[in-house]
Every structure is written in C-alpha cells, then in structure tokens.
Structure 1
Amino acid sequence: MAMENKIGVIVDSYQVGVREGLKKAKAAGADGVQIYAVKGEFSPQALNAAARKEYRDYIESLGLEISAIVGDLGGHGFQDASANRQKIDESKRIMELAMDMGTNIVTTHIGIVPDDKNSAIYEAMHKACDELSTFASEMDAYFAIETGPETSAHLKSFLDTLSSKGVSVNFDPANMVMVTGDDPVQGVHNLKDYIVHTHAKDGIQLRPVDPREVYGFLGFEKGMDHDVIAQMAESGAAFREVPLGEGSVDWKAYLQALQDIGYKGYLTIEREVGTNPEADIQLAVDFLKKLKG
C-alpha cells in the first residue's frame, strides 16, 4: 500500500524530556514530532520569542518538523462554563505557540459531548468550541479534537453545528476500539471532512465501559487525567493499550480508509503505557513503514 503519510512520534512518550525525546524520535526514523505544550519546558509561558526560534531551529537541524502540538488542558474539557474563559484563553496561547513553531494544529480533548443538545453542558462546550473554531480559522489553523469519548457519528453531529472547521479532528483509532467500541474505518468516513491529524495507537476492549469512567464528566466523576487513563490502559479491567498491530485496529483497512478520503497528514505514534517505550515506538515506526509500502 503506497501511502504519502509521514510518520510522527509524540516525544513525551519517551519520558526523557523534550530535547532528548527529539533525538530519539529522529533516531527511530520519524519524519516529525508532536510535543506537549500544556506545562513545563515547552509551554507558552516558558518560551519567549527568542526561545521559540531557537527550539524551532534546533528541530529543523535534526531534519524533523512538528506535526502538531498537544494542548490538552485536562479536567472536564470545556464542559464547565465557569472554567472556560481561562481554558479558552490558554488554548489560544498554545495555538499561537504552535504557529510560531511551524505547525497549525493543536490537538485537544473537549470532554464528552452530551447526547442532550439542550443541556447546559452541551451549550458550554458549543460556545467554547465556536470561539476557538473562529480563532483558529482566522489563523488558518485547527484545534483538533481527539476521538474516543463518543462515537464518530455523534462527534460529527456536534462539529457540523460549529460556524467553521477551525475545530476539527485528531483521529485516534485505539481510543475508539478501547472505549466506545466504535469502528475506526467507518469513523474515518464519518469524519472525513474534519480529520487533520491522527494518532497511531492500538488497543483492545476487555469489557464494555462507560466513557464517563474513563474521561470523566461534569457532575459524574473527576475530570480527565492522562496518568489515570494510562493506568487504566495498562492494568485496568476494561481495555488495554497494546503495541501497533497487536490490538483490534485493522491497520490495513484503516490506512486504506484514510487513503480513500484523501488524508495526507501525519500518523503520529503515541505510547502511553509499557516499561520500554523506546522499543515500542521503534516497532511502531517499522510497522507503519512496512504497511505504507
């Protein structure tokens, strides 16, 4: 299967800091990288204009590019109207950082989209996403929602109500098979107008699970915490994240679906569990390169 997609790696998956992670991603054979920009050494407040240019030059000197920035602020996403002003403003600063670093994509979670379109939570999420969508569109950029918390059909119905495609999709096939049990191939076709970035991850579902138990929901459970989700994916009773090719994602059919809709963006490897992420990431790079042909 000859595909044009480039292969990326989330440098934070290496758990060795950004600069060391960049070197490892290059050594693994990646074309690009995705970097967390929520807190720490790569956050908007930590990098002034000179530091941004220095980082960008360093990444380019390695022969890499940034596929996207992770701007996931955790909690309940944008479900809590009282917290949204700060989160929206923080998201905008992350988007500005992304543009300075040479990418126009920030990936994020917005919280589970409620079924009830008349609920206060739906209204809060819609209002926040509409503002972010307009902000992104004016910069020719995207806030890309990660798939998983709800079915692709339900996510599409929400995105269709926004005033622009500035809020789009970061497609993660593993989240779908692990949590909602949704079919990634059908999901690609459902969301074909919105996919701007993808995560290359695999997983299996061990038993049906309420997405609220995984991602949290305002008034139901505490908010989303990446460490908790990673722990669930490693040792929980509901699902497992596994190395690429060992889970329920039908990679040939999934990549064919991406090709069918004309997606030419990144396949960015994310590894949130395991004791040897470097080896798992190398296996994933090799797996994707072999599949791409």
Structure 2
Amino acid sequence: MKLSVFTVATPDLLPEELAQAAADAGIEGIEWRFKEIPAEAAEEKPSFWRHNRCSIDPNGTQEDLLRFKQAADKHGRRSLAVVPYLTCGDVEATEKVMQVAKLIGASFIRVGIPGYDRTRNYNELYDQAVRYLHEVQDLAAAYGVKAVVETHHLTITPSAGLTHRLVSHFNPQHIGVLYDPGNMVHEGYENYRMGLELLGPYLAHVHVKNGGYRKTPSEDGSSASWSGEWVPLDQGAVPWKQVIQDLQSVGYEGYYGIEDFSGTFESREMLLRFAEQMNIWADHKQSV
C-alpha cells in the first residue's frame, strides 16, 4: 500500500520537518499545498487553511520552489503532487501550477471546478467546466502532468457519478479523478464500489479522512438540523476497511493520501497513526 500526505493537514511543520516526519511514518509521497499565507495570518497559530507553514508560495522564486523538492529528496520521499485552489476557467494560473509541478517532479495537480450554491444553474456551470478542462487537457499533455478533479461537496462534482459525467469527455491519461470518500460524507455519497467501477481508468488518487454528523435541535425543540464535521479516521461514517476492499476490487494501485482535519493528534503522531491504521486495514484485506 502506497501512502502520501497532503500538507494542508500538517500546518505546524516546515517542509523539511514534514519530509522527515513522513519518512519516520513510512509515508512515501508528499502532496504539497500551493497557497500563500495571508499577511495578517503570519503571526497566528498554525492552521490548516491560513497559517500553513508547509505550503508553497505561488509568488516564490525558483529557489523557494526547489526548497520543497530538496526537502523531499533529502529524506527519500517523492513530491507526488502540487495541490492549489484554482478557479475554474483560470487557464493562466493553471499553467503556472503545471510549471511548478514539472519543476519539482510532481505527477499531478488539482484543478478548479465550479462551486454550487443554487445561485447559478448546474448546466451552465457544467458547460463552463467542460470548456476549461479542454484547455487543461492540452496543458497536461504538454507538461506531462495529470490534472485531477476532486469529488468535493458544494461543487458540481460531489459524487463519483457527477465527477465521471464531467471527466468522461477527456483522455484519462491527462484528466483524472481524486476520489475523496470523506468529502462524500458531507455530500455525494454513492455505493463506493459502484462509483469506483464507474470511474474506471479515471481513478487517479485517493484522499483519506473521515467525517460524521452533528444534530442541532432548534431553539424550541420542534425540529433539528444536521451538519457534517471532521472526525478521526477510525471514528467516522466512512467504513475505510470496506472502501479499501472496494478500491482493491477495481485494481487500484495508487496512493492513499492522508488529509485529516479532525485536529485530534499533533501532526507527527497523526502521520504515524495513519500509516499504522492503513496497514492494519490492508493486512485485513489480504487475510480475508
């Protein structure tokens, strides 16, 4: 089983510290977060989406960029991906990320997909995404870097089915799917094996995290609302042992990338526990 870490989940570690921690845990691949730290967040406590010390600054120099490759290389890790927060249709920014990925030897990037919040018709957003991905596909072929679309809540690709509908226009050598069952707790659940069978050659990568549900009664107690929240890997709604079996049933041999947002453990311990738990689940499958 090949393991990786998306550095959004290790905000307190510098690149060199993260590479060492990954090596200590037996995690081979690193998915580098590609996002600047807001100036006003620089003095804040490290956090996933603001003061993340393990992020590539899009405005960095080539020397700054190569720091991440060197950190991985020093500890025998692989720079697997560059993971930005792109806007659908921003071809110029997408090409810049492709260039960075090629520079540091990463094999894929995440691309931008329209969000969905009821303010625009899905069909318009879908057409916009198809036009964008046609241009992305050309870039991916030119740079030798795959572009992946993530199954993500609050977008037009929350499920395997809707993601497949979008990517099926394209060559799976250049456009793939980042499958994230944790996101599907919030929105987009389908039978895991059925979705994976549908994705077929488009399945490019898997993110590993877990979520659960919180019930909030109304003030008068007459009704209640439910919302998703992040929880530790072995305590959520995603049955990861089953998901791993389903992934193996379709011949998946790629990486499993940790993206734990529960905040239960300090980063180094989280990585060690992730590797230990995934190996237990993998061993269970082999013994069945």
Displacement of 1:239 after TM fit?
A: 0.9
Q: AA paired with 1:291?
A: W
Corresponding residue of 1:219:
none
Displacement of 1:252 after TM fit?
A: 2.4
Corresponding residue of 1:291:
281
- Compared CA separation, residues 198 and 65, structure 1 to 2 (3 A): same
- Compared CA separation, residues 163 and 102, structure 1 to 2 (3 A): closer
For residues 243 and 166 of structure 2, what CA distance do their matches in structure 1 show?
Answer: 23
CA contact (8 A) 1:53 1:101 kept: yes
Q: AA paired with 1:155?
A: T
1:256 to 2:241 alignment? no
For residues 99 and 51 of structure 1, what CA distance do their matches in structure 2 show?
Answer: 15
1:171 to 2:171 alignment? no
- Compared CA separation, residues 94 and 133, structure 1 to 2 (3 A): same
Match of 1:152 among 129, 150, 160: 160
Structure 2 segments unaligned to the other structure (5+ residues): 38-54, 216-224, 284-288
For residues 76 and 176 of structure 2, what CA distance do their matches in structure 1 show?
Answer: 28
- Compared CA separation, residues 291 and 275, structure 1 to 2 (3 A): closer
Task: Give the number of the structure with larger relative contact order, counting CA–CA contacts within 8 Å between residues 6 or more apart.
Answer: 1
- Compared CA separation, residues 69 and 9, structure 1 to 2 (3 A): same
For residues 171 and 198 of structure 2, what CA distance do their matches in structure 1 show?
Answer: 19
Secondary structure of 1:241's match?
Answer: strand
Greater percentage in strand: 2
| Deviation string, structure 1 residues 123-143 (Cα, Å, up to 9, x no partner) | 222111111122112333211
1:202 to 2:210 alignment? yes
Displacement of 1:20 after TM fit?
A: 2.6
Structure 1 segments unaligned to the other structure (5+ residues): 79-83, 208-235
CA-atom RMSD in angstroms = 2.7
For residues 35 and 65 of structure 2, what CA distance do their matches in structure 1 show?
Answer: 15
Corresponding residue of 2:52:
none
Corresponding residue of 2:56:
42
1:66 to 2:98 alignment? no
| TM-score, normalised with respect to structure 2 | 0.76
CA contact (8 A) 1:117 1:123 kept: no
Secondary structure of 2:200's match?
Answer: coil
Task: Give me the identity figure in percent.
Answer: 21
- Compared CA separation, residues 28 and 39, structure 1 to 2 (3 A): same
Corresponding residue of 2:142:
138
Displacement of 1:290 after TM fit?
A: 1.6
Match of 1:191 among 174, 178, 199: 199
- Select the structure of larger CA radius of gyration: 2
Secondary structure of 2:244's match?
Answer: helix
**Matched residue count:** 250
Displacement of 1:108 after TM fit?
A: 3.7
1:243 to 2:257 alignment? no
Displacement of 1:106 after TM fit?
A: 0.7
- Compared CA separation, residues 276 and 164, structure 1 to 2 (3 A): closer
Secondary structure of 1:45's match?
Answer: coil
Displacement of 1:180 after TM fit?
A: 2.3
Secondary structure of 1:191's match?
Answer: helix
CA contact (8 A) 2:6 2:32 kept: yes
For residues 68 and 137 of structure 1, what CA distance do their matches in structure 2 show?
Answer: 16
| TM-score, normalised with respect to structure 1 | 0.75
For residues 138 and 164 of structure 1, what CA distance do their matches in structure 2 show?
Answer: 15
CA contact (8 A) 1:134 1:163 kept: no
CA contact (8 A) 2:16 2:71 kept: no
CA contact (8 A) 1:15 1:21 kept: no
For residues 164 and 203 of structure 1, what CA distance do their matches in structure 2 show?
Answer: 29
Secondary structure of 1:24's match?
Answer: helix
Displacement of 1:29 after TM fit?
A: 2.6
Greater percentage in helix: 1
1:6 to 2:19 alignment? no
